[in-house]
Structure formats: structure tokens, C-alpha cells
Amino acid sequence: MGARPESDATAAFDPAVHTAPHPVGAEQLTGTATEPPARIAGDDLEPGDRIDDFDLLLELGHGAFAKVFLARQRSMQRLVAVKISADHGTEPQTLAQLDHESIVRVYDQRVLPDRGLKLLYMQYVPGGTLAAVLRRVRATAPERRTGRLLLDAVDEALADKGEIPTSNTRAREDIANLSWPEAVAWLGRRLAEALDYADRRGVLHRDIKPANVLLSADAAPKLADFNISFSDHVAGSSPVAYFGGSLAYMSPEHLEASHPQLPGTVNDLDTRSDIYALGVMLWELLTGRRPFPPVEAKDAQGSVEQLLELRRRPISPRYLADLPPDCPASLCRVLKTCLEPRRADRWANGAELAQQFELCLDPRARDLVDPPPGRRRPSGPLWPIPILAIAIAVPNLAAAGYNYYYNKTLIVGKLTPEVQRSFHDVARVLYPLAIVVATALILYTARHLIRVSIGLHTGRDYPDATLAGARIDALRLGNRVAGIAFVFWVLGGVVFPVMLNIVAGGVPRGTYTHFLLSLVVCGAVALAYPYFAITWYVVRFLYPVFLVHGRSDAADVVHLRRLAQHTGRYLTVAAAVPLVGVTGISFLPASDIESVVWAVRVLCVGGIVGFVLAYVLYGVIEQDLQAFERIAAASDTDDDHR
């Protein structure tokens, strides 16, 4: 299963190895719950011995309750890891449910009633444990820690067993190129996926610690030792059977359940307790020490009380200062959320946590969700409203000004004086009315997005379905706003001449077509340019906020891809605006060209400038969408394997 872990007996007062494997009760926990047995099961067995179907080749490690050997199974002619322990527990039945690449595969068990032993044989994982990696971390200066450190620890474990280290594979090359914080996130993602897989099958681990994470020859982590795990799918298994865990990694509720005088019970534990323990372990790997001061107690009960008091406090600034300078803000946030004292404030499940670690591994995505120092995100619950208002108003007001001058010069100026006077009256009514109605309609379509955004800023929690709906609304916002603006411009092209004819009469039939075409051109301006400004803001500042609070999924992938397609089409519209202006002037009579030439020039030059800006934003939006799609697609792929 891995390199030999430190014996529990050598660290009798280290809470990392104190466990409580006995049924919960005051008589079991007071002074005795964390004591190792006087004699390890199978203590008389040594390499070279044979037991049942196994030739013992090498002792891989031993703990308080078992010994682990590398063995050859005679009947199958294969190498396996054999865990020899006293005949109790439901570990084989529990692990038999689990078939995941990040969980050690258990083949079967054999019981020897005459010796009171249980032989659990499983997949042999040769690359050592995270305990060995942790020792190497502590011996290495922070600035020299990289993904190479993880591979060096694995290679050392392989060499200790007389195995040849794996040659450079793609997986090892990728790990070697990671920074140390990225390597920790890489390990965390795979272990979070394992916890989620187990949780979906009703299995809790309850003893996450470095010695229980084995490493393959390619450094892939595999969760092992479910000896104190609980499965609600195994007959006869219950949370109070063989309750335990390693005190240094226990969640507050786990510590409380292990104390006979506190109200917490084992039945209160769920996957969020495992997530807490995973957070402690990964913090320790990242910095070289746990995010809490060591405790000194004469007995287990005193140790539990001190640890529980520390767990109920926020992480001290002196431990936050341990984080390496190259630690992404995302990883700090993710680990701090794992370590929240209240389990309701932690990640809800392993899948959500795994996606957060995946986010930490994507530089572009993580900088969008957690901007690095020097890059600020507009804050405040109402910030999006004025920003979006400006993005909508500026292009539309510019288009309105151009349209008013163009219509007044080329259309209305050729009509009767009475119609010209009515034109100003109708314009003063229709333009403000259109703005008010369009604004109300935009706010109505964005009401859910605005409500959830404000709620998140004020600390409210929302169900996953509500957050998912808000994310999709955010991705649709640019398209909806552009569509509403364009529809109102087209309606204006129909309503304006009709109203003018009703008020003044005498509007020629050809004027209707001219009005409509002029407002459609302005509608194109109102369609393209606000879209890019709004979509850029949404993708860069609004959508990332939701990823802090929830997990994107397959629906996000669909809408992210759809948004990318829409953005390409809007770029085409933006490119067409100056071309339409030039083309339109070529159809005017020579006598009319001089009167509107400067307005058309403004349209063309403004269209070119707008297209350049739209093209720049298009490139940024496209890369941001690809980053978010990578995160959501990776999560979707994981769902397919659950």
C-alpha cells in the first residue's frame, strides 16, 4: 500500500495519531479512547512468513491496530498489500462498494478464527504515503518546494522497496511543472472526488490524515484505511460502531462527538467532517504545519477539550502568514472554507470542493474568481446597476442623437412645416417613453439576477438551483438587453411615422420605409456595442462571484458555449455598422449627401472605433469563457464517472 508510516507508538502524545476506535461512551472515552492496544494484531508475523494464501515479503508499515505487508498471493500469483488486524469492523464490506481511481481497491478478506485475525488484501500502491511527503516538505525551504518534491518523495519510496522509479510520463511531467500550491490543489481535487464518490454511496471515511493517503508510481493519491468508516448500505454497520479518528485532523463536531460530556453524537457526522479533515491535511502539506497550535494535555479528554476550543476559532493570522507567497488567493479561500468551524459554512460535498480545486489549477479562471492583489473587482450590491446602465445608455444615446439629426435632415426636413413641428413633439414623447419602458423591461428580466447578487453580498445563502438559475441569467443578460434594445428601435421605426401621420397627417408612404431603415441601422448600434460591454462585465466580474458560492455544471457548459457563439455573431454586426453607413450614403441623391455627410462620417468613424473595442473585448470574453468552460466541463466529466 505504500511506504512504511511512522508507528503510532512513537508518537503517543501526538494528536495526529490518537484515535478512538471504540464504541462511543463515557467509559470507553475517558482516558482510554485514544490509547493504542497493548499488542498489535499479528505482531509475531515477519517478512518471510506465510499466512493463509499469502507469502509475506516486506513490512510496509504498522499502526496501533494493524500491520501491513507486501505479499504474494499464491492462488492468483500477484502482489498485494495485506492488512492484518483483529477480526472486527466492517471495512471490507464498506470498501467493497467503492471502485474509484482515487480509492485503494480492496479485493477481498480472509478470516482466521483460530488466530482471531482478519486478512484484508488490496491493491498494492508502491509510492509511499503523504506522511513521507510531509516530512520532505518540512525539510525543504518554502521557496524550493514545487511539484518535483512530490515526485521525489514517490521515487524515494519506490527505491526503498527495490523498485525502479517510473520514467517520465506525461502525468509526471505535468506534476513537475506545478508550483507547490498547485500540486497541493492537484492532490486535493482527486481526494475530494474520492470523498464525494464514497459519500454518494453512504460511506464516510472519518480518519483523513497523511498516513492514510497512498501514492501511485505517478504520484496519484489513493485514499486508504476505511477501518473506522461508516456505510449506511452495509448491514450491521452504524455510526457508533468503531467510532474514531485522528484527533489532530478532526472537525469540531467530530471532536465534540468523541467527548462523553458534550452533546454532539456520532450520528451528527457527515461528509463535511471529512472535508474539514482534508482541509487540515492539505494546509499542513502546503505550509509544513497544521493551522492550529500544538496542545499539551495529560489525557485524551483534556486533549479533546483543548483541540475543540482551537477549532472553534478562526485561523490565526500567524498561520495565515505560513502560506507561501505563490499561493493563489483561490486556494487560500478554498482551504479556509474547508476549515470553517460551522459545518454549514463549509463546502457542501466533495464534488463542490473538487471543482474549487480544479479552479485553483486554472490560472485564468482563478484570477477571475479571486483577483490577485492589484486587480480589484467592483464591490457593493448595487454596483452592477450603474455600470450596466452606462453600458446601455452611451451607445443608445449616441444612436438616438444620430437618428434624430438624420431623420430631421433627410426625412422630416422635406415635409410640410406642420409635420416638422409635430416631429419634435412626437420625438419628445416617444424617446423618453421608449427609454422608460425598455429600462423597466430590462430590470424585470434581470430581477432574479439582481436579487440573488444583492443577497449574496449581504451574506444570504441560496439553494443550488437558485444559484444555478442566477448564473444562467447572468450569461443571458447581454443577449437579452441587446435584444430588447433592438426590438424597441425597430418598433420606433414603425411607430414614429405612424404617430407623425396621426398628429400632423400628410406623411408620404415612402417615408415609412425610410424611417424604418434609419432606425434599424441605429438598432444595430444599440444591439452590438452594449452587448460587448455588458457581456465583458458579466463574464469578468459578475459570473465569477457565483462560482465562489456554488458549483457550475453541464448546464453552464451549454450556456457558456452558446454565449461564445452569440459573441461571434455580434462581432459581425459590429463590423457591419460602418459598412452600412458607407453603403447607405451611396444611395442618397447628390443634393442630400452634403447635408448629412458629417453625420455619416461620425457613424463610420464611430463604428470603426466601436468595432475595434468590440474586437478587443471579444478576445477577452472568449478566453474567459473558455476558462470557465474548462472548469464546468471537468466537473461534468467527473459526474459521468460517479
457-487 tens-digit pLDDT: 888 889 999 999 999 999 999 999 999 999 9
Q: Which residue has the higher pLDDT, 31 or 162?
A: 162
Beta bridge partners, 119, equal 84, 110
Distance of CA 498 to the CA centre of its chain: 54
Residue 282 has pLDDT above 70, yes or no: yes
Beta bridge partners, 231, equal 203
- 182-196, 509-523, 542-556: least confidently modelled range: 509-523
**Helix, strand, or coil (residue 272):** helix
Report whether 104 contacts 214 (CB < 8 A): yes
Q: What's residue 472's pLDDT?
A: 96
Residue 525 has pLDDT above 50, yes or no: yes
Residue 382 has pLDDT above 60, yes or no: yes
Q: What is the mean pLDDT of residues 259-266?
A: 80
- 122-136, 416-430, 617-631: least confidently modelled range: 416-430
Q: pLDDT above 70 covers what percent of the chain?
A: 82
Residue 63 has pLDDT above 90, yes or no: no
Q: What's residue 22's pLDDT?
A: 36
Place of cell 527505491: 159
Per-residue CA distances from 152 to 7, 45, 144 (Å)? 23, 31, 13
Q: Residues 577-597: pLDDT tens digits?
A: 777 766 666 556 665 666 666
Backbone torsion region of residue 164, taken as left when φ is above 0, otherwise alpha when ψ lies between -120 and 50, otherwise beta: beta
Residue 7 has pLDDT above 70, yes or no: no
- 36-50, 514-528, 541-555: least confidently modelled range: 36-50
Residue 57 has pLDDT above 50, yes or no: yes
**Domain at 131-228+241-361, CATH from 3.60.20.10, 3.90.180.10, 1.10.510.10, 3.40.50.261:** 1.10.510.10
Q: What is the mean pLDDT of residues 64-85?
A: 90
Ordered DSSP codes for 296-351: --SSHHHHHHHHHHHHTSPPPHHHHTTS-TT--HHHHHHHHHHT-SSGGGS-SSHH
Report whether 249 contacts 281 (CB < 8 A): yes
pLDDT band at 516 (very low <50, low <70, confident <90, very high): confident
520: which residues sit within 8 A by CB, 6+ positions away?
489, 490, 493
* Domain residue ranges in the chain: 49-124, 131-228+241-361, 383-634
pLDDT band at 160 (very low <50, low <70, confident <90, very high): confident
Q: Which residue has the higher pLDDT, 411 or 303?
A: 303
Identity of the highest mean pLDDT range in 163-177, 191-205, 364-378: 191-205
Beta bridge partners, 230, equal 204
CATH 3.30.200.20 describes domain 49-124? yes
pLDDT band at 161 (very low <50, low <70, confident <90, very high): confident
Residue 455 has pLDDT above 70, yes or no: yes
518, amino acid identity: S
The whole-chain average pLDDT of the chain stands at 82
Residue 150 has pLDDT above 60, yes or no: yes
The greatest distance separating any two alpha carbons of the chain, rounded to the nearest whole angstrom, comes to 114
DSSP assignment letter at 41: T
CA 273 – CA 206 distance, rounded (Å): 7
Q: Is 83 annotated as a binding residue?
A: yes
Residue 314 has pLDDT above 80, yes or no: yes
Q: What's residue 261's pLDDT?
A: 80
Q: Residues 82-111: pLDDT tens digits?
A: 999 887 655 555 566 688 999 999 888 898
Per-residue CA distances from 155 to 159, 536, 608 (Å)? 6, 46, 59
Residue 26's CB is within 10 A of a number of other CB atoms, namely 11
Which of 158, 148, 159, 80 has the alpha carbon at shortest distance from 120? 80
Beta bridge partners, 59, equal 69
DSSP assignment letter at 538: I
Q: Residues 215-234: pLDDT tens digits?
A: 999 999 999 876 544 444 44
Residue 12 has pLDDT above 50, yes or no: no
Residue 253 has pLDDT above 80, yes or no: yes
- 67-71, 77-81, 190-194, 245-249: least confidently modelled range: 245-249
Q: Do domains 49-124 and 131-228+241-361 have the same CATH topology?
A: no
Identify the helix (H) or strand (E) that includes residue 574: helix 554-586
Report whether 552 contacts 631 (CB < 8 A): yes
Q: What's residue 14's pLDDT?
A: 39
Q: What's residue 234's pLDDT?
A: 41
Q: What is the mean pLDDT of residues 15-31?
A: 36
